[in-house]
C-alpha cells in the first residue's frame, strides 16, 4: 500500500484492521515478559504443540540444529542451550504454519484480487506447495510440473541475445552451498549481474572497511564482546534487529563496561533488559541495564559526531600522551598527520551544527573512549543507508585506529548484519564486482570461463529492467519489489520483464507484481529436512562475525512436492545451459560435493567438509585481526574526507525508514510495534514535537509526506498519522516497506550505490486529502 487509511494497512485484508490504534511510550525492559507473552501467542497461533517447542530447543543448537532464519548474530559458544530470541521464534513459527497456499487457493483467487490484499494477509495464507505458472488468460497462477518449470526457464534464458539480459537476485537467507551454485550458474551463463540485498544494506560497510584495513568484514568475534571495556552501538535498534545482542550487552554492563547507544531515536535496547533464559531475573522482574549513555545525533550527523570524538581525543593527547596509541599508529597506519590536521581545521561550531550534538557531549564520549583500553564500535543501517555512508564508516575506522583498537582482544569494528547469511552470500560469490583472483580460481576449479566485466547491482538492475535491457529476473528468496526503493518505479520495472522467477516459501507481493510470464517455485524451509540421494543434507551459513557452521532441518517438509534451493538452482541451470559440463545432479545428490568444490575456490574454506563439522564450525581468517592489512600501502589507512553539510533547509525534514518490532525485513507479523508503544498502526511518521507544533499538528493528525529527489521530481504518500516522539528536531522516521515509495530510484549514494532509505529530504504537512469525522472514521 502506498498511502491510505491508518487503521487499514491495505485494501481487502489486514491482521488487525478493525481495531483502534494507539501509541504510548514504552517503559518496560526489552525482551523479558513482553517477549515471553509474544512467544506464547505465536506458538498458540501455529497449532504446533509438539513441533513448535521442539524447534525452539533445536534452533541454533550446535551440530544437530538448524540456524535461525532471522538475524546474523553469532550463536553462543559458552554452553547456552537456549540461544534463541522472540524474533527468531516468530521467523521459525511463521515458516512452520500448518496453513497451505495450494492449487485450490490459486484457483479461487485472481492475481488482480490478491493485489488488493495487504502483505500480512498474503503471507498468512501459509506455505507454497508446488510450482505455479501465471496464466494471463485467467489472471491466475496454475500448477505445473518441475520439469515444465525448468523448461520455461531454460527456453527463456536460451532465447536471450546477451547473457547480461538476465539478472540473478539473492536475499540474505540463502545458504552457502546454494549460493555458490547460484553464482556458478550465473557466471557459466555469462553474466555478473548478481544483485543482492547487501546492495541495499551494508555495501557501504564493505567498501569503507576494505579501503581502511583491506577487508570488508568486521574483525571482532563474540569472545571480544566478552572482553570489551567500552561498546559503542551506532544506528542499531538491537532489541528488534539483533535481539540476542541484548545478552552480550547485559553481560558487558555487569562486568563494568561502558555501553554507549548512538541513534536519533532512543530505543528500548539502550536502557535495560530481562533476558528470558535467565530464569531468576524473569521470576523476580529484575532487569539489567544495557546502556550507560544515550546520544541522539541528527540523521546523517554521525560522521561529524565521530570526528568530534576524534578531535577531542587528539586534543587530549597534548597533555595525556596515552590518549592515542602512537606506537600502533607509527607501525601500522598511514595518513595520521593529515588526519590530525583535518581534525584541527574542523571547528567545534561546525561539528555541533552538523551532528546535532553539543561539544560537551562529544567530549564526554571522548572521555569514555580514552579510558577504555579495548573498544568495539558496532553499527547497522542507520549508518550505511546515507549519502555519505562510506565516509561515515571510514570515520569510525579512523577513531578505532587512533587508539589501536584493531587486532586486540575486546576491540575492533563490528558491522551488525541483518539477514542470517547475507555475509555468507558475498563470501561465496554473490558479488556484481568480483575480484579477478576469485574468478581465476573459479575458472580453474569449475572449468568455466567467467565474464570479467562488472555486472549490475540492485538499483542498476531495476533501472535496466525498466528500460528493457534486463528481461529475465530470477529471485532467490525475499520480497524484492517491496524491499527495493521507489516502489512504483520498481513495480513498472518488474512488469516490463519477459519472465520473472521467484523461489519462495510463502506468497508475497513479488509474486503479484510480475513479468509477462511468471513462475513461483516453492522451496523447503530451513527448519525442514533436506533429503537427497546421498541422504539427509545440511547447508552452512556464515554469521556476521565470520563463523561458518552447518544448519540441519528437523521437520518434515510442508509438502512432498517441495524441492531444496540447491535442487531448484541445479534444475534451472541444467535447463538453461544445454552444453554444460558442470555436474549439477552430482552436486544435488550430496552437498559434500559442493563443499569440496568451494574449498578449491574460496579463501578460508580449505578442508571445508572436515572443518565445518567440528564443534561450532570454524571462523574465516581475518588478516586485519592479525594486523595484516591488505591495502595498497600494506598499512591501515586513515581517511581524510571533508564533512558534508546535510542539515535540512528550513521547512524540510530528513526522514529515515526503519522496521517495527513486529516485522522482519518485509515480513509483517502484526501492525504493532511494542518497543515504541504502537498498537495497530503502520501508516505513521514519528516527529519531533517542536516540528509538529511549527506545522500546526497535534498527535495523530493526518499528514501528507512529499520526498524531493535530486533530479527535482517528487513522490508522495497521503493520510499518515503524525506521532510526537523523542527524535531530534529536523528529523522524522517511519516504517519500511510502506515508505520505500518515497525513496527515488536515482537517489543512491555515489560512494556505495546504496539507496538512501535513511536519508530522504521530505516535507510533511497537514493532510489535504484525509480528515476524521466525529465518529472517528477515516474519510478521504
Cα distances (Å, whole numbers) of residue 540 to 546, 549, 602, 611: 12, 5, 14, 11
Question: What is the average pLDDT value for the chain, to the nearest integer?
Answer: 90
Average pLDDT score over residue span 142-160: 98
* Peptide bond just before 737 cis, omega within 30 deg: yes
651-674: per-residue pLDDT in tens? 999 999 999 988 888 888 889 998
Specify the residue for cell string 581475518.
622
- Sign, CA torsion 682/688/691/697: positive
Question: Looking at residue 16, what is its pLDDT?
Answer: 44
The pLDDT > 90 percentage for the chain reads 76
Q: Give the C-alpha separation, 269 to 246, whole Å.
A: 7
Q: Give the C-alpha separation, 227 to 247, whole Å.
A: 14
**Which residues are within 8 A (CB) of 96 and not within 5 positions of it... i.e. 6 or more apart?**
46, 48, 51, 52, 55, 525, 527, 555
Q: Give the C-alpha separation, 468 to 472, whole Å.
A: 10
Show the cell assigned to 475.
529471485
Q: Give the C-alpha separation, 676 to 330, whole Å.
A: 46
Length of the chain: 780
Average pLDDT score over residue span 6-13: 38
Show the cell assigned to 655.
526522514
Query: What pTM, to 2 d.p., does this model score?
Result: 0.93
Q: Are the C-beta atoms of residues 220 and 412 closer than 8 Å to each other?
A: yes
Per-residue pLDDT band for 780 (boundaries 50, 70, 90) equals: very low
Average pLDDT score over residue span 520-535: 95
675-687: per-residue pLDDT in tens? 899 999 999 999 9
Cα distances (Å, whole numbers) of residue 343 to 308, 314, 388, 635: 8, 8, 18, 21
Q: Give the C-alpha separation, 21 to 39, whole Å.
A: 22
Question: Looking at residue 84, what is its pLDDT?
Answer: 67
Q: Give the C-alpha separation, 753 to 749, whole Å.
A: 5
Question: Looking at residue 59, what is its pLDDT?
Answer: 52
614-654: per-residue pLDDT in tens? 988 999 999 999 999 999 999 999 999 999 998 999 999 99
Q: Are the C-beta atoms of residues 264 and 731 closer than 8 Å to each other?
A: yes
Cα distances (Å, whole numbers) of residue 335 to 211, 315, 572: 13, 18, 50
Q: Give the C-alpha separation, 241 to 378, whole Å.
A: 13
195-208: per-residue pLDDT in tens? 999 999 999 999 99
- Cβ burial 734-768 (10 Å sphere, 16+ → b, else e): bbbbbbbbbbbbebbbebbbbbbbbbbbbbbeebe
19 SS3 class:
coil
Amino acid at each position: 500500500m502506498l498511502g491510505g487509511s491508518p487503521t487499514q494497512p491495505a485494501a481487502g485484508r489486514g491482521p488487525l484492521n478493525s481495531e483502534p490504534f494507539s501509541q504510548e511510550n514504552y517503559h518496560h525492559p526489552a525482551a523479558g515478559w513482553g517477549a515471553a507473552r509474544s512467544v506464547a501467542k505465536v506458538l498458540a497461533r501455529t497449532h504446533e504443540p509438539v513441533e513448535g517447542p521442539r524447534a525452539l530447543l533445536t534452533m541454533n543448537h550446535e551440530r544437530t540444529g538448524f540456524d535461525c532464519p532471522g538475524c546474523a548474530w553469532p550463536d553462543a559458544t559458552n554452553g547456552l542451550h537456549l540461544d534463541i530470541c522472540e524474533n527468531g521464534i516468530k521467523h521459525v513459527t511463521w515458516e512452520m504454519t500448518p496453513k497451505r497456499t495450494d492449487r485450490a487457493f490459486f484457483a479461487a483467487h485472481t492475481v488482480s484480487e490478491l493485489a488488493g490484499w495487504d502483505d500480512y494477509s498474503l503471507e498468512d495464507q501459509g506455505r507454497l506447495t508446488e510450482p505455479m505458472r501465471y496464466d494471463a488468460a485467467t489472471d491466475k497462477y496454475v500448477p505445473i510440473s518441475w520439469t515444465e518449470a525448468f523448461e520455461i526457464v531454460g527456453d527463456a534464458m536460451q532465447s536471450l541475445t546477451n547473457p547480461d539480459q538476465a539478472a540473478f537476485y539473492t536475499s540474505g537467507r540463502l545458504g552457502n552451498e546454494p549460493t555458490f551454485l547460484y553464482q556458478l550458474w550465473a557466471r557459466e551463463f555469462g553474466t555478473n549481474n548478481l544483485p543482492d540485498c547487501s546492495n541495499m544494506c551494508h555495501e557501504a560497510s564493505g567498501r569503507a572497511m576494505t579501503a581502511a584495513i583491506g577487508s570488508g568484514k568486521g574483525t571482532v568475534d563474540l569472545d571480544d564482546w566478552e572482553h570489551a571495556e567500552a561498546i559503542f552501538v551506532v544506528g542499531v535498534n538491537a532489541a528488534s534487529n539483533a535481539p540476542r545482542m541484548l545478552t552480550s550487552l547485559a553481560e558487558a554492563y555487569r562486568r563494568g563496561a561502558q555501553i554507549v547507544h548512538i541513534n536519533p531515536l532512543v530505543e528500548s535496547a539502550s536502557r535495560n533488559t530481562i533476558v528470558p533464559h535467565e530464569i531468576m531475573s524473569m521470576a523476580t522482574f529484575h532487569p539489567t541495564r544495557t546502556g550507560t549513555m544515550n546520544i541522539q545525533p541528527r540523521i546523517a550527523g554521525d560522521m561529524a559526531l565521530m570526528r568530534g570524538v576524534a578531535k577531542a581525543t587528539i586534543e587530549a593527547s597534548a597533555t595525556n600522551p596515552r590518549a592515542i596509541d602512537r606506537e600502533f599508529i607509527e607501525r601500522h597506519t598511514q595518513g595520521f598527520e593529515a588526519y590530525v590536521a583535518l581534525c584541527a581545521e574542523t571547528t567545534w561550531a561546525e561539528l555541533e551544527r552538523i551532528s546535532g550534538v553539543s561539544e560537551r557531549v562529544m567530549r564526554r564520549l571522548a572521555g569514555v573512549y580514552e579510558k577504555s583500553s579495548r573498544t568495539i564500535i558496532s553499527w547497522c543501517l542507520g549508518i550505511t543507508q546515507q549519502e555519505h555512508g562510506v565516509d561515515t564508516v571510514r570515520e569510525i575506522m579512523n577513531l578505532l585506529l587512533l587508539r589501536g583498537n584493531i587486532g586486540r582482544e575486546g576491540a575492533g569494528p563490528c558491522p551488525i548484519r541483518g539477514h542470517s547469511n547475507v555475509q555468507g552470500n558475498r563470501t561465496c560469490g554473490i558479488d556484481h564486482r568480483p575480484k579477478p583472483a576469485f574468478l581465476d580460481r573459479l575458472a580453474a576449479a569449475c572449468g568455466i570461463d567467467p565474464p570479467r566485466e562488472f555486472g549490475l547491482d540492485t538499483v542498476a538492475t531495476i533501472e535496466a529492467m525498466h528500460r528493457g535491457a534486463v528481461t529475465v529476473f530470477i529471485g532467490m528468496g525475499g520480497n524484492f519489489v517491496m524491499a527495493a526503493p521507489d516502489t512504483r518505479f520498481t513495480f513498472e520495472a518488474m512488469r516490463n520483464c519477459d519472465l520473472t522467477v521467484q523461489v519462495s516459501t510463502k506468497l508475497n507481493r513479488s509474486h503479484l507484481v510480475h513479468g509477462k510470464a511468471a513462475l513461483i517455485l516453492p522451496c523447503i524451509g530451513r527448519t525442514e529436512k533436506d533429503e537427497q540421494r546421498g541422504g539427509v543434507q545440511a547447508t552452512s551459513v556464515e554469521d556476521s562475525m565470520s563463523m561458518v557452521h552447518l544448519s540441519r532441518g528437523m521437520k518434515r517438509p510442508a509438502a512432498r512436492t517441495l524441492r531444496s534451493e540447491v535442487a531448484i538452482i541445479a534444475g534451472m541451470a541444467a535447463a538453461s545451459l544445454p552444453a554444460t559440463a558442470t555436474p549439477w545432479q552430482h552436486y544435488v545428490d550430496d552437498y559434500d560435493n559442493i563443499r569440496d568444490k568451494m574449498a578449491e575456490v574460496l579463501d578460508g574454506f580449505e578442508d571445508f567438509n572436515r572443518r565445518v563439522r567440528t564443534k561450532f564450525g570454524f571462523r574465516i581468517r581475518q588478516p586485519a585481526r592479525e594486523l595484516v592489512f591488505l591495502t595498497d600501502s600494506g598499512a591501515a589507512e586513515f581517511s581524510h574526507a571533508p564533512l558534508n553539510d546535510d542539515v535540512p533547509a528550513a521547512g524540510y525534514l530528513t526522514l529515515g525508514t526503519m522496521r517495527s518490532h513486529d516485522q522482519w525485513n518485509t515480513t509483517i507479523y502484526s501492525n504493532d510495534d511494542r518497543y515504541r508503544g504502537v498498537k495497530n498502526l503502520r501508516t505513521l511518521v514519528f516527529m519531533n514535537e517542536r516540528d509538529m507544533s511549527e506545522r500546526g499538528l497535534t498527535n495523530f493528525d493526518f499528514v501528507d509526506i512529499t520526498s524531493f529527489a535530486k533530479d527535482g521530481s517528487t513522490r508522495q504518500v497521503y493520510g499518515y498519522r503524525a506521532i510526537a516522539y523523542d527524535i531530534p528536531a529536523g528529523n522524522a522516521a517511519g516504517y519500511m516497506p510502506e515508505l520505500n515509495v518515497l525513496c527515488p530510484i536515482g537517489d543512491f549514494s555515489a560512494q556505495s550505490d546504496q539507496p538512501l532509505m535513511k536519508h530522504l529530504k521530505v516535507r510533511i504537512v497537514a493532510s489535504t486529502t484525509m480528515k476524521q469525522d466525529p465518529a472517528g472514521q477515516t474519510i478521504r
